[in-house]
Amino acid sequence: MSQGRIARRFAALAREGRAGLVTFVTAGDPDAATAAAILDRLPAAGADVIELGMPFSDPMADGPAVQAAGLRALKAGQTMIRTLDLVRGFRVREQETPIVLMGYFNPILQYGVDRFCVDASAAGVDGLIIVDLPPEEAEPLAVPAAANGIDLIRLVAPTTPEARMPKVMAGASGFIYAVAITGVTGTASAAQGAVAELVARVRRHTDLPVVVGFGINTPAQAAATAAVADGIAVGSAIVRQVEMAIDSKGHVSPDVGDRLIGFVGQLAAGVRSAARVVA
């Protein structure tokens, strides 16, 4: 395991004996200034790791809430350069909370893979989750990412066959992202029995921390999942707080940040209240 910010954070969580809260927000949603202000407040609200969505016009794994967030950000002028600037600004003020960029390979390819990895590392990015890049085709990104100290985080789905697990784990770093449901984000709730079985299956193939995401929408669900996983990722339910702060004329309420941060605080309290049933 690398000794970057992600490894240090999960080692600290293990010493505390609790799971971590991984919060997803979309870069530039609903606009650049508000997104930057929200990002700055997430660590104090209880975010242990921040996933930052890279807006993309043709997502394949995002449900309605995350798709809408991406479109809002693109309409507000968000670009890859602005996303890296957002991280760079955050790092001026906060050095410890890991940031993982999540999205699709096409925008990285358009930016230039080698240039992207150099710029992302310089900005303060710690990891990448690229949902449409299978292990067999990951080398063009994996090599420059590793050379620049960026973890390439792999996803495992409930439908991933046992025989494929070693191939998925090969070259993975940071943590393993276990997708709790079949389908896109935010459209169903994860069944706790199935989540526990999936986490146990992943642990048989890796010593990396296991973070469960997709299908976790409430503080109670976060707490239940925190009992069996090393981290809980919540996305759609968080970005939906932005959606609820926009009126019928498209105006964003001034309390959008307070609304979102308040919800993250509830999730964090749920995660911290969970009694671990696995080491």
φ, ψ (nearest 5 deg) of residue 256: -60, -40
The domains located in the chain, with CATH, are 5-271 (3.20.20.70)
- Partnered with residue 212 across adjacent β-strands are 178, 232
CA-closest candidate to residue 88, choices 115, 124, 37, 54: 124
Which positions are catalytic?
Answer: 51, 62
Give me the tens of pLDDT residue by residue for the chain, a chain 279 residues long.
447 999 999 999 999 999 999 999 999 999 999 999 999 999 999 999 999 999 998 877 777 889 999 999 999 999 999 999 999 999 999 999 999 999 999 999 999 999 999 999 999 999 999 999 999 999 999 999 999 999 999 999 888 988 999 999 988 999 999 998 766 555 556 667 788 899 999 999 999 999 999 888 889 889 989 999 999 999 999 999 999 999 888 888 999 999 999 999 999 999 998 866 654
Cβ neighbours of residue 275 under 8 Å, at least 6 residues apart?
A: 227
